[in-house]
A and B are shown apart, each in its own frame.
Chain A
Amino acid sequence: MAVIRDIMPAFQLYQPSSVADAQKLLQQHGNDAWVMAGGLDSFDWLKDRIKKPKALVDLSGIDELRGVRTTGDGIEIGAMTTLTEVVRHPVVKEKYGLLAQAAELVASPQIRNQGTLGGNVSQDARCWYYRAGWPCYRAGGNICYADTPVGRNREHAILHAERCVAVNPSDSAPALIALDAKFVIQTPKGERVVDAENYFLGPDIDITHMNILEPGHLLTAIRIPSTWAGAQFYFEKVRDRNVWDFPLLNVASAMRLSGDTIQNLRIAVNGAAARPLRLKAVEDSVRGKPRSAATGEMAGKLAVQGAVPLQSNAYKIPLMRNLVKRSISGAQEAAWAS
């Protein structure tokens, strides 16, 4: 139950100094291993004694997982790079400002100093029934406590809910999807590179995991191609407390314009489903259209098609509609005609 005991359960602590060593440890311990990046998600689980791994692999001593590197086609960010480092990096700020904006809105300065980009995209759901250790679907049980007439589901999913209605709480994830980032994963079979949007899993595919990482896998870097470098970016996060909170919803978009016409767009939202959603239908529908309030309004309506509110989160539908509209037509055009 949700009693913070503060004393973590006993586990073997491993602090490898290289990716190769970390991989060996992860393969050696398989399902019993817990990967810790910044520790902000991990310590919650461990101090609540809800997760009790036998081996904890702390990645903080692996230098090769840190830093932002310029490559032939964009940049590569080590998975253990802190969010503060991402925010302050000159190349990120200059060319990939969308990610800098998103990372800067994560939690508080102290948390951004400790939290890592890899950890932010890989963090677990924040549904309190799940975090409290109740035997819900996501915890391997057979019920969703949030999706009931009396469940506390104000922060939960409006789209793609499948038994579990928890949402993905990452701010950087939609920005990386909008930037067409690639996630580099070391697996026992070698390196695997996946599109950012394919890194995340919904409950329809795997109800107990938020991403495709399997035992023995390690997210080592995130590559951002130059495709969207310097594009027009928009990131907006709506949260209960502006100083420090998880998103109720956020939106990230990267846009290329030709005059006033939208040449190309990538847009993603988070907080609406168990995985960050790339809005492909919206992207296709606005391509070649003028950047205007009408286009934004049409895109907003399209974005929420199929949304099913729970008892207490119907507000997310107009919120998402409006965020999508603003991301396309700009905040100044946000007023709805109707």
Chain B
Amino acid sequence: MGIIEWATSPLGQNVPIHIAWFLIWVALIAGMLFLIVHAIYIRYFAKEKEFVADASPKVAAQLPARIPRHSLAARLFHWIMAASMFVLLFTAFLPKVGVRFDWVTYHWIAGTVLTISIIFHIIHASFYLDFWSIWPDRADLEDAWKRFQRFMGKSSALPRKFAKYPLENKLYHGAIIVTGMSVILTGVFMMSRVRTIFFPRNPYLFSDMTWGLMYVLHGLAGVGLITLVIVHVYFAIRPEKLPITASMIVGTMSREFYLKEHDPKRWVVEASPNTPRGAVDGD
């Protein structure tokens, strides 16, 4: 049982046509298994987080009661992207498991919304936000190594508190970039195979082999997103992560949570409640 379905083209060439659909269930089960194992680990085995001491009481006293975390534009982008992603996943995979409905139109419309929102996000994050805040840096890797050493029972210095985003968030963002860009880039070309308002159908844009590989990449990234979305939703509703989730709705988090999890030196927040743009970044 392969993970790719093959067919013989009219020219006698053996070409891939799409992924094997059992991978939908593999992705679903993988996501569910992750959350079960993680929930058990946190409930029974995880130790209290320990960080090296950072903010002085003086710094803490100067912070506003609510720490700005996500700008309105960043929040709007996030929820539009989330809505389009859910529509894309449901319209892509429900028909494959036997739910019959007119899915193609909804799928390409949601894909278009996602594409536009991602283009906006790239521009917004590149020119208006702190672009590097979501990318792993040296400190992340050093602290991750310290945490790993301590997890293995070896002696190691305490890690620092997180910058704006913990390393896990940054790695997750990286995985979303890879899968998201894969589905978007292949999806844009695949739109030329169906009737849309954008361009005339042209199924001969590429060879059968290239098209096949494109469908396979679209499918693999798509099922990957099933797992990633399950993991994302799981973390969003975990009790200890709720302040972060809430900040994606209201835009701010409490000073207490900020001081508990984040290092004011690595994520600088202006003392004034009316924090100027640029000092506190959005998503």
Residues 158-204 of B contacting A (Cβ, < 8 Å): 193-195, 201, 203-204
A204–B7 Cα distance when bound, in Å, is: 23
Known A-B contacts A143-B203, A143-B211; A205 and B194 likewise in contact (beta carbons under 8 Å): no
A141 within 8 Å of B (CB atoms): yes
Residues 152-203 of A contacting B (Cβ, < 8 Å): 161-163, 201
A285 within 8 Å of B (CB atoms): no
| Residue-wise interface mask of B (58-92) relative to A, using a CB-CB cutoff of 8 A (1 in contact, 0 not) | 00000000000000000000000000000000000
B101 within 8 Å of A (CB atoms): yes
A140–B105 Cα distance when bound, in Å, is: 19
Q: Is the CB of B102 within 8 A of A142?
A: no
Question: What's the least CB distance linking B46 to chain A, in Å?
Answer: 45
Q: Is the CB of B10 within 8 A of A162?
A: no
How many residues on the B side are at the interface (Cβ–Cβ under 8 A)? 26
A15–B100 Cα distance when bound, in Å, is: 32
Q: Is the CB of A142 within 8 A of B100?
A: no
Residues of B contacting A135 with CB < 8 Å?
7-9, 15, 17
| A interface: dominant SS | loop
Residues 1-23 of B contacting A (Cβ, < 8 Å): 5, 7-10, 12, 15, 17-18
A14 within 8 Å of B (CB atoms): no
Question: What's the least CB distance linking B5 to chain A, in Å?
Answer: 7
Q: Is the CB of B215 within 8 A of A206?
A: no
Residues of A contacting B212 with CB < 8 Å?
142
Residues of B contacting A308 with CB < 8 Å?
195
Q: Is the CB of A163 within 8 A of B193?
A: yes
B95 within 8 Å of A (CB atoms): yes
B30 within 8 Å of A (CB atoms): no
Residues of B contacting A145 with CB < 8 Å?
10
Residues of B contacting A205 with CB < 8 Å?
100-102
Residues of A contacting B18 with CB < 8 Å?
142
Q: Is the CB of A134 within 8 A of B10?
A: yes
B104 within 8 Å of A (CB atoms): yes
CB closest residue in chain A, given B211: A142
A147 within 8 Å of B (CB atoms): yes
Size range of the interface on A? Answer: 20 to 34
Residues of B contacting A162 with CB < 8 Å?
102, 104, 194-195
Q: Is the CB of B104 within 8 A of A141?
A: no
Q: Name, among B100, B208, B215, the residue most crowded by chain A CB atoms within 10 Å (CB to CB).
A: B100
Question: What's the least CB distance linking A254 to chain B, in Å?
Answer: 28
Q: Is the CB of B204 within 8 A of A206?
A: no
A162–B102 Cα distance when bound, in Å, is: 9
Question: What's the least CB distance linking B99 to chain A, in Å?
Answer: 10
Residues of B contacting A144 with CB < 8 Å?
203
A139–B7 Cα distance when bound, in Å, is: 10
A148 within 8 Å of B (CB atoms): yes
Residues of B contacting A140 with CB < 8 Å?
5, 7, 17
Q: Is the CB of A142 within 8 A of B215?
A: yes
CB closest residue in chain A, given B9: A135
Q: Is the CB of A163 within 8 A of B100?
A: no
A-B contact pairs, 20 of them (CB 8 A): A134-B10, A135-B9, A135-B15, A139-B7, A140-B7, A140-B17, A143-B193, A143-B211, A144-B203, A145-B10, A148-B201, A148-B203, A148-B204, A163-B193, A204-B102, A204-B103, A205-B101, A205-B102, A206-B95, A206-B100
Report which A residues bind B (CB closer than 8 A).
Answer: 1, 134-135, 139-145, 147-148, 161-163, 201, 204-206, 308
Instruction: Give 10 nearest A-B pairs by CB, closest first.
Output: A135-B7, A204-B102, A141-B17, A205-B100, A142-B215, A206-B100, A142-B17, A143-B203, A134-B10, A141-B7
